Amino acid sequence: MNALRQRTHSLVCISLNTSKFIHISTNSKSSTLVNAMCDSLRRGSNWDTLTKQFCSVELNHSIVEKVLLKLKDPVDAKCALGFFHWSAQRKHYQHNLWSYCATIHVMVRARMLIDARVLIESVLKKHVEDDSRCLVIDSLFRTYEVMESSPLVFDLLVQAYAKMRMLEVAFDVCCYLEEHGFSLSLISFNTLIHLVTKSDKSCLVWSIYEYMLQKRRYPNEETIRSLISALCKEGKLQTYVDMLDRIHGKRCSPSVIVNTSLIFRIIEEGQTEGGVLLLKRMLQRNMILDTIAYSLVVYAKVKLGNLESALEGYEEMLKRGFSANSFVYTTFIGAYCREGKIERANFLLQEMENMGLKPYDETFNLIIEGCAKVNRVEESLSNCEKMMGRGLLPSCSAFNEMIGKLCETGNAEQANAMLTPLLDKGFLPNEITYSHLIAGYAKAHKIQEILKLYYEMESRLLTPTLQVFSSLISNDFLTVATTVLGTLFGM
C-alpha cells in the first residue's frame, strides 16, 4: 500500500511539474506576442500591416485583454482604440463586454470623450434588454480599478442612456451608481432633466430634482431653466406664481418658484416629513425665502392633521416678524371647514379681509363647500354670490356640494338659477351637477325641466349617472327613464 502511495505521489509531482513548464512556455509565447503587437501599434502600423504581421495568430479574449492592459496609459490610447477596431474585424473573433469596457476606460482616461461616447452607445445597444443592462455597469465596475479609470466614465454612461431616450433606465443607473459610491456631476443631472423635460414623463423630472437635492447636488441656472420649462409644459407655472404672490406679496425668482413647487408637490403626495426636511435644507442654503418656508411648514402640519402644531408654528412666525398672508389664512380656513367649525372659518375669513388680505378662489371654495356640508346653505349661497361678484368662479366640486343641498331641500329652481349665469362666464358643469338638478326636479315632478336638463347634458357629451336613473324610477318617471336609456343605447 505504501509503495502504491509513493508511486502515485511521484506521478502527481511529475504531472504538476510538466503542467507548470507548459504554462510557463504558453505564458512566454503569449507575452512575446502581446509585446510584438503593442510595439507594432506604437510604431504606427496600419491595419494591413498588422494583418500581414499577425495573420497566423488566432485572436482570443485573453490576448486582447493583455494588449489592452498594456496600452491602458493615455499616451497609448490611440493605439488601444486602433487595436480594438482592428481586432473587431478579424474573422472568428467578437469583443466581449470586458474588452468594450476596458477600451472605454482607456478613452476616458485620455479624454478622448467622443470615442468613449461612441463605444458606450455601441455596448448599450448590444445590451439594451432590461435584464442585461446591469451587466454593463458591473463590467465597468470590475474593469475600473485595473484600468486606473476616472469617475467621468459613469457620467458618460448616464448621459448616453439619457440621449438614447432610455430615461427611466438612466435615472435607475444614476441611483445604482450613487449606492456604489459614484456621485454624478451636475452636468449629468442637467442632461437628464433637460431630456426628460422634452419627453412626456413630467413626473420623472421632479423625482430626479428631488433626488439630486437629497444627494446635495445643487442646481445652477441651466437646471432652473429646464425646470421652469417643465412647469410651463405641465401648465402649472401660473399656479405656483399665484401661490407665491399670495405668500410673499411680490414676484419671486425662478429658482424660488421651482423649489416651492417641488416642496408643495412632495407635501401633496403625502411625504410631508421628507418635504419639511428638504425645505429646511433649502432654507439653510438660501434656496427659498423665510416667509415661504414658514407658510409651507404650516401647510404641511395642517396636511398631517396637526392643527394645534400648525397654529403654534404660525404664532412663532408672527413673533419673528413675518406678516400673515392669504395662503396661510386659507390653509387654516380649509382645516376648520373640514372639521365642521364653520364659525371659526368665517371669523378667519372676516379677519383676513379686515387686514387687507384678499381671499382667492380656493378660499371661497372651501367656505362654500364647508357651509353646504353642515347644511348652512344660505351662507354657502352668500359666499358663492360674493365670489362671483369678485369675478371668480367656484370649483365644480364646491358648486355641486351647494346645489346638491339645495335640491335635497326642494330648491331645484334656485339651484338651476345659480347655474345659468355661471355657464355664461365659462363654468363647466359635470355629470354630478346635472344629476343633482334632475334629482331635485324629479322630487318636484317637473318632467319638462328634467328633459331639458337631459338634452343639455347630451349636448355637452355628458353621460347620466346612476343617481339620475334612481331618482327617475323612484319618482315614477319610468317613461323618461326609458327615453334616456333608449337614447343612450340606440333603442
Rounded to whole angstroms, how far apart are CA atoms 83 and 94?
A: 13
Question: pLDDT per residue over 234-261, tens digit each?
Answer: 999 999 999 999 999 888 999 999 999 9
Nearest to 250, CA basis, from 217, 220, 289, 213: 289
Domain positions in the chain: 25-150
Prediction pTM value: 0.81
* Distance of alpha carbon 150 from the chain centroid: 29
Task: Give residue 28's pLDDT.
Answer: 62
Task: Give me the sign of the Cα torsion angle 332, 333, 337, 341.
Answer: positive
Q: What is the dihedral of CA 426, 430, 434, 437, to 10 degrees?
A: -70
- The yes-or-no verdict on residue 365 having pLDDT over 90 is yes
Provide, for the chain, the percentages of residues in helix, strand and coil under a 3-state DSSP scheme, each rounded to the nearest 5: 75, 0, 25
Radius of gyration of the chain (CA): 36
Task: Give residue 74's pLDDT.
Answer: 93
Q: What angle do CA 191, 196, 197 make, to 5 degrees?
A: 100
Rounded to whole angstroms, how far apart are CA atoms 257 and 320?
A: 23
Task: Give me the sign of the Cα torsion angle 336, 340, 341, 342.
Answer: positive
Rounded to whole angstroms, how far apart are CA atoms 407 and 399?
A: 12
- The yes-or-no verdict on residue 176 having pLDDT over 50 is yes
Q: Per-residue pLDDT averaged across 195-220, rounded?
A: 92
Considering only 18-27, 98-107, 322-331, which range has the smallest mean pLDDT? Answer: 18-27
> What average pLDDT does the structure give for the chain?
86
- The yes-or-no verdict on residue 22 having pLDDT over 90 is no
Rounded to whole angstroms, how far apart are CA atoms 490 and 486?
A: 5
Q: Per-residue pLDDT averaged across 319-348, rounded?
A: 93
Rounded to whole angstroms, how far apart are CA atoms 385 and 389?
A: 6
Name the strand (E) or helix (H) holding 376: none
Residue 40 carries which side chain, given as an amino acid letter? Answer: S
- The yes-or-no verdict on residue 145 having pLDDT over 50 is yes
* Distance of alpha carbon 299 from the chain centroid: 22
Residue linked to cell 502527481? 12
Here the cell at position 371 is: 357651509
Rounded to whole angstroms, how far apart are CA atoms 192 and 197?
A: 9
Residue 432 carries which side chain, given as an amino acid letter? Answer: I
Q: What is the dihedral of CA 423, 425, 426, 432, to 10 degrees?
A: -40
- The yes-or-no verdict on residue 10 having pLDDT over 70 is no
Name the strand (E) or helix (H) holding 111: none
Are 234 and 199 in contact, with CB atoms under 8 Å apart? no
Question: pLDDT per residue over 416-452, tens digit each?
Answer: 999 999 999 999 999 999 989 988 888 888 888 888 8
- The yes-or-no verdict on residue 282 having pLDDT over 90 is yes
* DSSP structural state of residue 359: P
The residues near 181 (Cβ < 8 Å, ≥ 6 apart) are none
Considering only 166-170, 211-215, 457-461, 474-478, which range has the smallest mean pLDDT? Answer: 474-478
Nearest to 262, CA basis, from 245, 243, 249, 248: 243
Task: Give residue 132's pLDDT.
Answer: 59
pLDDT level of residue 462 (50, 70, 90 thresholds): confident
Nearest to 213, CA basis, from 272, 159, 255, 162: 255
pLDDT level of residue 482 (50, 70, 90 thresholds): low
Here the cell at position 13 is: 509531482
Task: Give me the sign of the Cα torsion angle 50, 54, 58, 64.
Answer: negative
pLDDT level of residue 472 (50, 70, 90 thresholds): low
Question: pLDDT per residue over 375-397, tens digit each?
Answer: 999 999 999 999 999 999 999 99
Question: pLDDT per residue over 98-144, tens digit each?
Answer: 999 999 999 999 999 999 999 999 999 887 765 556 788 989 999 99
* DSSP structural state of residue 94: -
